[in-house]
Amino acid sequence: MSLAGLHFAAPWALAALALLPLLWLILRAAPPAPRAQSFPPFRLLLGLRTADEAKAKAPLWLIILRMAILALAVIGFARPSLAPRGTAEEASGRVLIVVDDGWTLATHWSAVRSALQAAASDLEAGRGEAHLLLTAPAAEPRSPSEALTPGGLRGRAAQLEPQAWRPDRAEATRRLEAADLGDMDQVIWLSDGLASAGDSLFIRQLQRLGPVRVRIPDAGTRAVTEAVAGAEGVRVVAVRSSQASPEAAVSAETQEGRSLGVSTLRFEGGRGEALIALPPEIAVRTARVRLIGEDSAGAVRLLPEGASRPSVGLADPGGGAQPLLNELYYVERALQPFAALQRGPLATLIENRAQALVLPDASRLAPGDAQRLKSWLDNGGVLVRFAGPRLANDADDLTPVRLRVGTRALGSALSWEQPQTIAAFSPESPFAGLVPPPDVVVRRQVLAAPGAENEASVWAALQDGSPLVTAAPRGEGLIILFHVSAGPEWSDLPLSGLYVQMLRRVIALSGRAPGGGGEAVDAGSAPYRPVRLLDGFGSLREVRAGVDSVPAASFAAAVAGPLAPPGLYERAGLADAIDAAGPAETLEALALPAELRADRLELAQPRALAGGFLSLAAFLAALDLLVSLFLSGRFLALRAASCLVLLCLVGAPQNALAQSVHTQNALTQTIPAQTAQAKTPLAQTALVQTALAQTALAQTALAQTALAQTALVQTAFVQTAFSKTAFSKTAFSKTPFSKTGRALVGDPTLTVRLAYVVTGDAAADRQSREGLTVLSDALFDRTAVEPGPPIGVNLAGDELSVFPFIYWPAPERPQSLDPEALANLDRYLRLGGMLLVDTRDAERASNAAGPAATMLRGLDAPPLERVTEAHVVARSFYLLRGFPGRHPAPELWAETQSSAAARDGVASLFVGDGDWAAAWAGESGVPSRQRELALRFGVNLVMVALTGNYKADQVHVPALLERLGREGRP
């Protein structure tokens, strides 16, 4: 509703003005309440009289003040605004509206919207109709022949969004011709003001239809045409139209939109360059470059992740090694700036189409992984391996040369040789040109098997000619072996800059096989699949259904358009992008014929007056409060401070009030408004509470007044309440989720519990349980260990790390473990758990393929040694000479001390054939003395599991005693 230039957005609120006469009556009838005063000498006042009571009625001016407050508030809530109209003539009759809905107008889109809305309003007044022509091509273009009512135009204007490509006026001309509109009363062209092909034809066509009004944005357009992340930062090239400002700020942003760096770009003529200085490892994280202040697809340049960098996988064997001792640490640090690194299990890396893989020594190749790795190599992967103790002892066939078992130590105590430096690289080597620093020495290496030196090409060698880096092709791929460890244990190489350069060159080789690995990719046919697309405003959006992939053949030359929407694409694991503004983008000004004059696109903004009205009402309400207090004689009692608070209150929520009025329709919108605007809801609450206290104090005085003020306080209350709701929601969403998992009876983390592997063989399982029960009781009776009842575990599914000791008897028909159980058991042993594998076959003739071989197949089993009387297990509680089970003299093997060095020499794997559980359980046929000894062995074993090598010095007691005796003698 409009009234004398004043526009009311909520005119129904004006109905409340009808209340004014009512207020008059109420105010006249009820004077301000008197102040109550307790007075002891009341008796003396009896019978005294003062001035006329009638005088105490509210004075006229006070009534007028209060009615003014109410009137202002009512008008304020009706949301008035002053809307000056454009200077140009109004649209009427049949109107063709042409919109250049490309990214070139995106920055000025609000102006476009309001221009369309204004046109719709004009047509409403003049009962006209509109035709809409959008010049940017769309997948399904709408014909301009469709006549829109003003309401329809309004609807289209609300939905209209700019496209992420530029208008194509030649194509628009064709559509216009096809529509055959006939004569128009007026043609309004909301133009981007930029020249493109087919302009003159297009303008002529428009002029043929009717009088043309061109409206062009004031501010011009800018676009980024090039952005490259390099060694010194991100280099940006941008272009601008002639009206655009000669300076711009460019920002390098991460995927999440966090700014990495900002620089100022100065245009010289139409083009400008800038460098956002960033360290290379930061620069590579740049996902896009954006012109600040320009909200259009053209002002955004996408730098797809890894598009220029090889994707390198680091095979991580898992297990929590300390970071600085981790083999991959050095590789990761070296490659970080040059490659897109991912870390994880081998299978995942291959699945993720890593172009190169780094395989440190600690990784053992599972059979399935080895198979996958081979096919990945055949498809062109680059495998970088490092040597280490494991490779030295147990080389697989995925090496460039066959390796000798064992290592060559240079410069150790028992060696004549000095540590070797690296020889200069031969010109054929990929490392040619690098200079090996003289202080890098190699102390240990693996050697090629005799006679195998010629199987592979030697890329780097030591001074004595022994190879340091060898490489051999395999299928389409390449295997490269560093004959030293990835960390600094074997050589100084990982500590030198040479290491970084060598790895960089090696990784660069992976570029020759794009998308290497995985299924073979037919480079010709696989299309580029859109991942995220730019909208006209330059934000990345999810891909909507119906957007096709871009054929690989045309991708490189693709120009942004409906068939190749700009955004991020992916093909065979490689990311790429189509940008809205091509590298050759030019933003020339549109050449208009002399008879056409360009108007400003931007309309003068209507001025909202609601805030002013409400502020004035609130101010008068505060004044009224003071006046009321004065009239009732309380003014002097009020502290200056509380007056101040009151005035603050009048000032503070004005904005909030105005805002809540603007966001009229939505409670939900109040929440963001609140959170965005009032950063300190507490402070506001405090203010409101103070105000309430005030109100309570002067309740009687305020009773009939301050409708506006009540509304004000209520609004504030509503906002506070909403912000509270929002807070509590956040709090709730943080409720911790419970970890799901198989519930074990009793909590093995609270009590020590011995465990046995459930083999599926009922007799064996029963015996295990009974045996361990007896052993647990024996421990309880004889030692400080007080275990709970034993528990059966499933190797594949259960969390083993909570059990210090696991007994694993061979079932009747042993089976090898599935990969999941293997991984679980591997992890258990690496963490330092203790596993006793009992083959129970002492009386059978031992042959090569005993049950243990089956049971432990595939396990990353450490080397074993025979357990003797000198082993800690013979001393840990009882002194034992043998370890009898059901059999009086079984074999017992344990992990070697050197292999368990990481765990302080405490063996984690014991393998034997004593059938101990049967002896513990008291199976018939076992002599009681033998059973007692078996129990003692069990106690000792559990003691080792729990205390480690605590009793290891017992082993040395005889030697110590002897030495003491010798020293005691003169």
Partner 1 sequence: MSSPSAPAVLRLEAASLATDLPGLIVQARRLASAVPGVHGRRRAGQGEDFWQFRDYRAEDGARHVDWRRSARGERLFVREREMQAAQAVHLWVDPSPGFAWSSAPDRWPAKAARAMLLAVALGMVVSRGGERVGALGGPGFRGASAPERLAEALITAQGWGQAAIDLEPAAPPSRGVVALFSDYYAPPELWRERLRRSSDRGAYGVLIAVIDPAEEDFPFRGRVRFRETGGDAETVFGRAEEARVAYRARLADHRAALRAMAEPLGFPLLLHRTDRPPASALAALVGVLAERDA
Binding site for partner 1 (CB under 8 A): 31-32, 34-46, 48-53, 55-56, 631-633
- Answer yes or no: are the C-beta atoms of 5 and 83 closer than 8 Å: yes
Alpha-carbon torsion angle 953, 959, 964, 970, nearest 10: -170
What is the rounded CA–CA span in Å between residue 22 and residue 4? 27
Return the number of the residue (48 or 231) whose C-beta is nearest partner 1.
Answer: 48
What is the rounded CA–CA span in Å between residue 746 and residue 744? 6
Return the number of the residue (42 or 61) whose C-beta is nearest partner 1.
Answer: 42
Cβ–Cβ contacts within 10 Å for residue 116, how many?
22
What is the rounded CA–CA span in Å between residue 650 and residue 619? 6
The residue with tokens 């939900």 is: 668
Taking the complex as a whole, how short is the minimal distance between the CB of residue 293 and partner 1, in angstroms?
59
Return the number of the residue (501 or 695) whose C-beta is nearest partner 1.
Answer: 695
Taking the complex as a whole, how short is the minimal distance between the CB of residue 663 and partner 1, in angstroms?
44
Q: Report the side by side order of strands in the sheet with 186-190.
A: 147-148, 129-134, 94-99, 186-190, 212-216, 598-600
Taking the complex as a whole, how short is the minimal distance between the CB of residue 58 and partner 1, in angstroms?
12
Return the number of the residue (32 or 400) whose C-beta is nearest partner 1.
Answer: 32
Return the number of the residue (54 or 849) whose C-beta is nearest partner 1.
Answer: 54
Distances 521 to 44, 79, 266, 508, 959 between C-alpha atoms, Å? 110, 63, 44, 20, 68
Return the number of the residue (36 or 591) whose C-beta is nearest partner 1.
Answer: 36
Return the number of the residue (18 or 46) whose C-beta is nearest partner 1.
Answer: 46
> Count of alpha carbons within 13 Å of 448, Cβ hemisphere only?
23
Phi, psi torsion values for 837, nearest 5 degrees: -95, 120
Q: What is the 3-state secondary structure (H, E, C) of 59-126?
A: CHHHHHHHHHHHHHHHHHHCCEEECCCCCCCCCCCEEEEEECCCHHHHHHHHHHHHHHHHHHHHHHHH
Taking the complex as a whole, how short is the minimal distance between the CB of residue 697 and partner 1, in angstroms?
13
- Answer yes or no: are the C-beta atoms of 367 and 325 closer than 8 Å: no
Question: For residue 466, what are its two tokens?
Answer: 């022994």
* E runs forming strands in 579-680: 598-600, 607-608
The amino acid occupying position 541 is: R
Return the number of the residue (45 or 324) whose C-beta is nearest partner 1.
Answer: 45
Question: For residue 372, what are its two tokens?
Answer: 């996958």
Taking the complex as a whole, how short is the minimal distance between the CB of residue 647 and partner 1, in angstroms?
24
Return the number of the residue (56 or 853) whose C-beta is nearest partner 1.
Answer: 56
- Give the single-character DSSP code of 856: T
- Give the single-character DSSP code of 54: G
Taking the complex as a whole, how short is the minimal distance between the CB of residue 738 and partner 1, in angstroms?
53
Taking the complex as a whole, how short is the minimal distance between the CB of residue 57 and partner 1, in angstroms?
10
The amino acid occupying position 874 is: A
Question: For residue 107, what are its two tokens?
Answer: 């920055």
- Give the single-character DSSP code of 276: E
Per-position DSSP letters for 193-218, written without gaps between them: -B--TTHHHHHHHHHHHS-EEEEE-S
Taking the complex as a whole, how short is the minimal distance between the CB of residue 712 and partner 1, in angstroms?
28
Phi, psi torsion values for 957, nearest 5 degrees: -55, -45
What is the rounded CA–CA span in Å between residue 523 and residue 504? 26
Return the number of the residue (45 or 784) whose C-beta is nearest partner 1.
Answer: 45
The amino acid occupying position 698 is: A
Taking the complex as a whole, how short is the minimal distance between the CB of residue 47 and partner 1, in angstroms?
9
Return the number of the residue (44 or 556) whose C-beta is nearest partner 1.
Answer: 44
Taking the complex as a whole, how short is the minimal distance between the CB of residue 35 and partner 1, in angstroms?
5
Return the number of the residue (41 or 741) whose C-beta is nearest partner 1.
Answer: 41
Taking the complex as a whole, how short is the minimal distance between the CB of residue 36 and partner 1, in angstroms?
5
Return the number of the residue (40 or 583) whose C-beta is nearest partner 1.
Answer: 40
Taking the complex as a whole, how short is the minimal distance between the CB of residue 632 and partner 1, in angstroms?
7
Return the number of the residue (52 or 140) whose C-beta is nearest partner 1.
Answer: 52
Over its C-alpha atoms, the chain yields an Rg (Å, rounded) of: 43
Distances 780 to 522, 741, 774, 805, 946 between C-alpha atoms, Å? 68, 30, 10, 16, 14
Taking the complex as a whole, how short is the minimal distance between the CB of residue 121 and partner 1, in angstroms?
56
Taking the complex as a whole, how short is the minimal distance between the CB of residue 640 and partner 1, in angstroms?
16
Taking the complex as a whole, how short is the minimal distance between the CB of residue 51 and partner 1, in angstroms?
4
Return the number of the residue (409 or 703) whose C-beta is nearest partner 1.
Answer: 703
What is the rounded CA–CA span in Å between residue 907 and residue 892? 12
What is the rounded CA–CA span in Å between residue 314 and residue 346? 8
- Give the single-character DSSP code of 766: H
Question: For residue 966, what are its two tokens?
Answer: 């010798």
The residue with tokens 């009224």 is: 624
Return the number of the residue (632 or 768) whose C-beta is nearest partner 1.
Answer: 632
Residue 265: burial class (beta carbons within 10 Å; 0-12, 13-18, 19+): buried
Nearest to 653 by CA among 582, 716, 567, 606: 716
Taking the complex as a whole, how short is the minimal distance between the CB of residue 695 and partner 1, in angstroms?
18
Taking the complex as a whole, how short is the minimal distance between the CB of residue 38 and partner 1, in angstroms?
4
Return the number of the residue (631 or 707) whose C-beta is nearest partner 1.
Answer: 631
Distances 40 to 398, 651, 790 between C-alpha atoms, Å? 108, 43, 87
The crossing angle, in degrees rounded to 10, of helices 60-77 and 610-631 is 150
Nearest to 10 by CA among 614, 464, 912, 690: 614
Residue 60: burial class (beta carbons within 10 Å; 0-12, 13-18, 19+): exposed
Return the number of the residue (40 or 451) whose C-beta is nearest partner 1.
Answer: 40
What is the rounded CA–CA span in Å between residue 176 and residue 184? 13
Taking the complex as a whole, how short is the minimal distance between the CB of residue 86 and partner 1, in angstroms?
58
